């Protein structure tokens, strides 16, 4: 065992100070917290023999509230308000659960229109998605305006005026540039522009949001939000019209629930980020719970779907008619296949051995 630094043994607070440099409630500390607590929720749901969404739906309102951390958000959401929202969500809950089991939660696809795709590839993927019943599409924008105009026109012409189109800039622009760029893409009637600027710029998002209202374009953000406090401020500043939680960036289910409840209070639809790699498997539980027990609405609500790396999970998502079907297996759908874990384990896994060997050459 490596010898501990003598300064740490003499002054334990040094460890706390060190942790603050990589946190608190953000960065690697928060991501690690999320991973550990996601595993705990997975075990709890398995112990109860229920999928996580069902564990949450069946849980007493008071017990749910006891799982939340209200520090730093009581100016927006108190324990009493959270309890009241959950109690109101009891009305019609049984019918909404039956609706989810029968029809699933609406999804949208991001897989058709990544930057760098040729027009031929874009058309092929879009045509296949339409054949599979998709009605909501997201296109990546922000690298080149004329290219964006051409690609958005191509997609809009293919999907028609009645289907939903969203745009995602992945933090490309400064605030004035975002407003100017989107004014030129407004003709394609996007429902939202996602991450138009730095995810940390709350007031910048608010400026963009206000400027785009006359164009009928909303602002969506949240996949890079560190914690509930950032979401609180985005809501207070009216900086978004669509809130995008990420099930691995926030502090697991506990913090996600507080954000869902704040969104309900501000009447802002939650449309989670789920860019494949297991995110779809996790966030489906949260959004199904949101509909059944919190929001009770599907208006302007949908969950992202990317068909990427689901084959590594024991309980991959099930998509039917462009909707997430609620998982039926017990747990949080986080468990990976043993074979996949072995192959990707650092540094002895097959994938890493090949990669390191290639670098050595």
Active-site residue 273, yes or no? yes
**H helices present in the chain, as ranges:** 6-10, 13-21, 27-48, 52-58, 61-66, 79-88, 93-103, 119-131, 145-159, 175-185, 202-212, 228-236, 252-266, 279-289, 338-344, 350-360
pLDDT of 24 reads 82
Residue 224 has pLDDT above 80, yes or no: yes
C-alpha span between 310 and 324 (Å, rounded): 14
C-alpha span between 239 and 206 (Å, rounded): 4
C-alpha span between 204 and 56 (Å, rounded): 35
Residue 5 has pLDDT above 70, yes or no: no
Tokens of 9: 């043994």
Judge whether 249 and 226 are in contact, CB under 8 Å: yes
C-alpha span between 331 and 348 (Å, rounded): 29
pLDDT of 22 reads 80
Judge whether 223 and 246 are in contact, CB under 8 Å: yes
Residue 4 has pLDDT above 50, yes or no: no
Residue 361 has pLDDT above 70, yes or no: no
pTM: 0.93
pLDDT band, very low/low/confident/very high, at 20 (cuts 50, 70, 90):
confident
Judge whether 261 and 250 are in contact, CB under 8 Å: no
Supply the mean pLDDT for the chain.
Answer: 94
Judge whether 79 and 67 are in contact, CB under 8 Å: no
Of the candidates 49, 60, 105, 58, which has an alpha carbon nearest to the alpha carbon of residue 331? 49
Average pLDDT over every residue of 266-287: 95
Check 30, 54, 140, 285 and give the catalytic one.
140
pLDDT of 7 reads 42
Residue 315 has pLDDT above 90, yes or no: yes
Active-site residue 205, yes or no? no
Domains and CATH numbers, the chain: 93-340 (3.20.20.120)
Percent of the chain with pLDDT over 70: 95
Question: DSSP assignment, residue 315?
Answer: S
b/e code 301-323 from CB counts within 10 Å (16+ = b): bbbbbbeebbebbebbbebeebb
Average pLDDT over every residue of 191-211: 98
Tens-digit pLDDT profile for residues 60-93: 999 999 999 999 999 999 999 999 999 999 999 9
Check 232, 273, 285, 310 and give the catalytic one.
273
Lowest-confidence pick of 121-130, 131-140, 253-262, 274-283: 274-283
C-alpha span between 124 and 118 (Å, rounded): 10
């Amino acid at each position: 065992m490596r010898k501990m630094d003598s300064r740490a043994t003499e002054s334990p607070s040094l460890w706390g100070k060190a942790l603050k440099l990589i946190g608190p409630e953000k960065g690697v500390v928060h991501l690690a917290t999320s991973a550990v607590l996601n595993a705990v929720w997975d075990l709890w749901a398995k112990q109860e023999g229920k999928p996580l969404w069902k564990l949450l739906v069946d849980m007493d309102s008071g017990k749910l509230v006891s799982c939340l951390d209200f520090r730093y958000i009581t100016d927006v959401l108190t324990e009493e308000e959270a309890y009241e929202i959950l109690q109101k969500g009891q009305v019609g809950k049984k019918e909404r659960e039956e609706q989810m089991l029968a029809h699933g939660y609406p999804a949208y696809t991001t897989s058709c229109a990544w930057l760098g795709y040729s027009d031929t590839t874009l058309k092929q993927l879009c045509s296949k998605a339409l054949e599979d019943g998709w009605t909501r599409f997201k296109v990546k924008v922000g690298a080149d305006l004329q290219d964006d105009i051409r690609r958005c026109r191509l997609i809009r012409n293919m999907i028609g005026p009645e289907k939903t189109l969203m745009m995602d800039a992945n933090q490309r622009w400064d605030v004035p540039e975002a407003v100017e760029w989107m004014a030129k893409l407004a003709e394609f009637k996007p429902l939202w522009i996602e991450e138009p600027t730095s995810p940390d710029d709350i007031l910048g998002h608010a400026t963009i949001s206000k400027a785009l209202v006359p164009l009928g374009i909303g602002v969506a953000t949240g996949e890079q939000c560190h914690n509930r406090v950032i979401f609180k401020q985005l809501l207070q500043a009216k900086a978004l019209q669509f809130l995008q939680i990420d099930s691995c960036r926030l502090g697991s289910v506990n913090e996600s629930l507080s954000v869902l409840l704040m969104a309900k209070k501000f009447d802002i639809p939650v449309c989670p980020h789920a860019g494949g790699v297991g995110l779809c498997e996790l966030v489906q539980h949260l959004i199904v719970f949101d509909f059944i027990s919190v929001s009770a609405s599907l208006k302007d609500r949908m969950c992202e779907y990317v068909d990427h790396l689901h084959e590594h999970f024991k309980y991959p998502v099930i998509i039917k008619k462009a909707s997430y079907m609620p998982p039926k297996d017990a747990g949080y759908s986080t468990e990976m296949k043993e074979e996949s874990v072995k192959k990707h384990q650092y540094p002895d896994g097959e994938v890493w051995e090949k990669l390191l060997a290639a670098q050595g050459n």
